[in-house]
Amino acid sequence: MRMAELSAESGVPVATVKYYLREGLLPPGERTSPNQARYSAAHVQRLRLIKALTEVGGMSLASVGAVLEAIDGDKTPHRTMGVVQEELAGTPPQVSEEAAQWAWELLDGIVRRNGWGELKRKHVGVVNLVAALATAKELGHEKLAERLEEYAHLALRVAELDVDTVTGLTSFDKIIEAGLVVTVLGDRIFAGLRHLGQELLSREVLGDVPD
Amino acid sequence: MRMAELSAESGVPVATVKYYLREGLLPPGERTSPNQARYSAAHVQRLRLIKALTEVGGMSLASVGAVLEAIDGDKTPHRTMGVVQEELAGTPPQVSEEAAQWAWELLDGIVRRNGWGELKRKHVGVVNLVAALATAKELGHEKLAERLEEYAHLALRVAELDVDTVTGLTSFDKIIEAGLVVTVLGDRIFAGLRHLGQELLSREVLGDVPD
DNA sequence: CAGAACGGATAGTCAAGCTCTCCGTTATGG
DNA sequence: CCATAACGGAGAGCTTGACTATCCGTTCTG
């Protein structure tokens, strides 16, 4: 297919497709002549993926680019998912030294107590999680963190579902893309379900009238 | 306290504090003379809250403004949390009619089967959740959605923890702010825990070497 | 009472994410 | 075979969000 059809199929404007090509988010089409190209279904899928990651996942194009590069590269699945988590985590907010220390000990204690291995202090995901916990404390809402172990157990069960969903697949490439989708869209979907649950339960507790 | 101290205490530059005042994100200080003002600890807390919502929660200033307005207004807690969820949800991506229908039926079936009440078709959170599920399907990853009921049960248990954390508080205002923090930071924290879990479990399954 | 700090207003800056325009080349229907 | 439409590529321009810098007249402070 050519530009126009690629655009129509994916729902992305022609000018934007060209921009993505320039930025390297979309691999160039197969040349049919020095200045003409042909695009495939893979290009459509790639555009849909970019849309999903930015619109649903809320990722920046720069992050999407880094993730796509990791996918296309020859990294192991584990390392590729590492890049995904890195980009999702972003840059952590700076927090006070003591709040960070408190959060670290809290988290490390839980991991240690449950035999979940060793917590790496400079792992991006860990740093971000610690910063988020520290932020909650600085806001005076450390109650949230006091329940952390219960949250962690539930999170592990969610992760079991995630891994289970992905490992059922056959193709290597499919597994990586599925991992990406499960992580990025999965976060949003779970948050949505959680909010629904909060609303259901808080209505009972707070006893508000429905609208 | 005055400008300089407010800025130092909160870690927000003076120019930015002025900007927030202009935008109405921060209530004006108490006048001590026609062109001088005094700020309180509440202002510091408000600035910290804004930082947390934008930096950790990834919210835009416009969304933060809407949420703060809801908090300061005389809405019921339930309605205030509705505004929070609305702003967190954002504008859903457009998806095909049939994917949306499929996602809706999936979700509605689960809610119905578990006696969780009635699902409102135009509720922002629901619309967003449906759109996210539909997006996953359009990407060819409907496997994720097939486990939706299991995810939903876990999400409800997380929501129970959330509500439990919040309802232990005494002051009315504290409950609302805690609800906000639990929802916004809570989402990030849970996502972080989930990612840690994914890494822990996928290492076992995929058997990658550690770095 | 001199000089620093303040509050307020206006304008400027910077990055992200497109969008528009042009141009020379290539495909295509009559 | 030719008119014209579409194409690919490059560059400049635009819009929004989130600040940041500069003034200016007033007020506090040593």
Each residue's pLDDT tens digit, B13-44: 999 999 999 999 999 999 999 899 999 999 99
Question: According to the model, what pLDDT value does residue B211 have?
Answer: 47
Joined together, the tokens standing for residue B10 give 């909160």
Nearest to B58 by CA among A67, A97, A57, A199: A57
SS3 content of chain B, % helix, strand, coil (to 5): 70, 5, 25
Question: According to the model, what pLDDT value does residue A209 have?
Answer: 55
Reported as half-sphere exposure (CB side, CA atoms, 13 A), residue B21 has a value of: 17
Question: According to the model, what pLDDT value does residue B48 have?
Answer: 97
Question: According to the model, what pLDDT value does residue B76 have?
Answer: 86
Tell me the mean pLDDT per 10 residues along chain A, length 211. 96 97 96 93 97 97 97 89 92 94 98 95 95 97 94 98 90 90 97 97 71 47
- Sign of the CA dihedral with B39 first, then B41, B46, and B48 last: positive
Residue B75: Cβ-neighbour burial (10 angstroms; 0-12, 13-18, 19+):
middle
Question: A70 CB near a chain B CB, below 8 Å?
Answer: no
Protein-to-nucleotide distance from the CA of B22 to the C1' of D20, whole angstroms? 14
pLDDT over threshold 90, residue B63 = yes
CB of A185 within 8 A of CB of A49?
no
Locate tokens 């129970």: which residue?
B160
Residue predicted with more confidence, B52 or A34? B52
Alpha helices in chain A (DSSP H): 3-10, 14-23, 41-51, 61-72, 77-89, 97-113, 124-138, 143-146, 148-167, 172-206
Buried b (16+ CB within 10 A) or exposed e, A6-20: bbebbebeeeebeeb
Question: B13 CB near a chain A CB, below 8 Å?
Answer: no
Question: According to the model, what pLDDT value does residue B206 have?
Answer: 67
Question: According to the model, what pLDDT value does residue B205 have?
Answer: 74
DSSP string, B88-138: HH-PPPP--HHHHHHHHHHHHHHHHHTT-----TT-HHHHHHHHHHHHHHH
CB < 7 A contacts with chain D (nucleic strand): A 2-5, 14, 18-19, 21-22, 28-29, 35-39; B 13, 15-16, 18-19, 32-36, 54, 60-62
Q: Which nucleotides of D are covered by protein (CB under 7 A)?
A: 6-11, 17-22, 25-28
Joined together, the tokens standing for residue A140 give 């005076």
* Chain A residues near residue B110 by CB distance under 8 angstroms: none
Question: According to the model, what pLDDT value does residue B77 have?
Answer: 85
CB atoms within 10 A of CB A38: 14
- Flag if A93 and B56 touch (Cβ within 8 Å): yes
Question: According to the model, what pLDDT value does residue A208 have?
Answer: 60
Could you give the CA distance from residue B156 to residue B146 in angstroms, rounded to a whole number?
17
Please measure the distance between the N-terminal and C-terminal CA atoms of chain B and give it in whole angstroms: 49
CB atoms within 10 A of CB A96: 13
| Residue A198 to chain B, least CA–CA distance (Å) | 5
DSSP type of residue A74: T
Nearest to A176 by CA among A41, A108, A56, A77: A77
